[in-house]
Amino acid sequence: MLIIGYQNSNWFEMNSQQSRTISIESVIQNGNIGTTVGNIISNQETGLSILNIPSAV
């Protein structure tokens, strides 16, 4: 995801600093979404399920 975010921002002709920022932001947001979806699927009230491990890595 990091590489995809970086390449897409280069496609829009952004400078190197903006490209790095967008790629890092993409990774952070996808990790949060993965954790949320993992909790919804497992329907856990407390703690994290095993479905959240790939998002944390």
Put simply, whether the predicted model's pTM sits higher than 0.75 gets the answer no
* Cα 25 to Cα 34: distance, rounded to the nearest angstrom: 14
What are the domain boundaries of the chain?
2-56
Tens-digit pLDDT profile for residues 7-29 = 888 888 888 898 888 888 887 77
Are 48 and 32 a contacting pair, CB within 8 Å? no
Angle (CA) 4-10-12 rounded to 5° is 110
Tens-digit pLDDT profile for residues 26-51 = 877 777 777 777 777 776 666 666 76
